[in-house]
Structure formats: C-alpha cells, structure tokens
Amino acid sequence: MKAFVLASNSPRRKELLQQIHLPFQIDPSHLEELVPAGLSPEETVLCLARQKAADAAQRHPDAVVIGADTLVVLNGRCLGKPSDHEDALRMLQQLAGKKHQVMTGIVVLDTFTGKQVEAVEVTHVTMGNPSEELLRQYAASDEPMGKAGAYAIQGTAARFIEKIDGCYNNVVGLPLYRLCRLIELVQS
C-alpha cells in the first residue's frame, strides 16, 4: 500500500484522518496561496487544494497526496480565516441569523501514476442569532483564529449553529465519506 500524505497542517484534518485509521504523514504546503481573480467559490477551493497537493507531491514520488481547502461562503462571497479578533467578530456578525455554505475542495493525487481526482463538498449551515455579547466573547478567544468563517463547529461555537444540511465533517474541515470515495477512485 502506498503512503498517504496530508498536504495540510490543520489539526482538525489530522484528527479526522486518525478517526478513520488512515495511516498518513503530514507534509504541508509552504507555497503562498494565489488565486486568480474571478473564480467562483467552488473553483477557489479546488484551486487552493490543487496547489497544496502539487507542492507536497514534489517531495513524495510514490505516494497518495491529499490536498484540501475549506472556505465559508455567504451570499456568494468567500470568508476565509480571520486576520485578527476584530475581523473574527465582523465575520461572525455577518453570519449571525443567516444560512451559509461551507465548501471544501479536495484533491487526491497518486504521484507515481499521475492520476488525480477531485471534488467539492458543500454543506449548508444556518447560524442562529447569538447575542452581541456572546459573539464578542467568542471572537476575543483564540478559537476563531485559523478557522474559515471564524468559527469551529466542533468547539464552543456549536452553540451558535441552528442546523446543518450535509456533511458535518466537511464543516470541521474534511468530508471523510467523499475523501474515501476519491481515494478509491485514484487507486482503481
């Protein structure tokens, strides 16, 4: 069996892969993420996932490399990771009381054969209307930092989420069912 390489330093993606007992190593991309102007949110997450996978693939000539990128999309506009606590609060205020999408682009690449498969998983999330005080307290914590849309559904922000339609693990950062199907495809 080929080695699996996760082209990400995300602790959440690491935990999710450990959950399904997939043996893997971590080799995150160190490239500056560049996205051409005018891409849709779906194209954006795939573009970033491709960049991450391609970068790690250069260092692993006989492996299956997994690249992923997650964005929160509100009314067609991408919300990435907050730059600081004020930015986190601004994002949370925009999401409060609204339905948004969490999109993860996944690329699975067999570096020996060159076979590559990819997909975008979309989960619809409805955030309730937490009080301004709760949003401020949450935004001032470290939890929103490094999270697309400035929240972690698996953390204390779970109390803000009214409902989801789709894959919960996608909102955490890696849709496991879709990933496993892509791994099967790349190895067939």
Question: Would you please indicate which residues are annotated as catalytic (active-site) residues?
Answer: 69
In 3D space, the residue among 64, 47, 79 whose CA is nearest the CA of residue 7 turns out to be 64
The residue type of 100 is H
With a CB cutoff of 8 Å and minimum separation 6, the contacts of 131 are: none
Spatial contact of 15 and 93, defined as CB atoms under 8 Å apart: no
Measured between alpha carbons, how far is 132 from 122 in angstroms, rounded to an integer?
28
Within 38-114, where are the H helices?
41-57, 85-95
Spatial contact of 79 and 71, defined as CB atoms under 8 Å apart: yes
Q: How many CB atoms lie within 10 A of CB 18?
A: 11
Measured between alpha carbons, how far is 104 from 49 in angstroms, rounded to an integer?
9
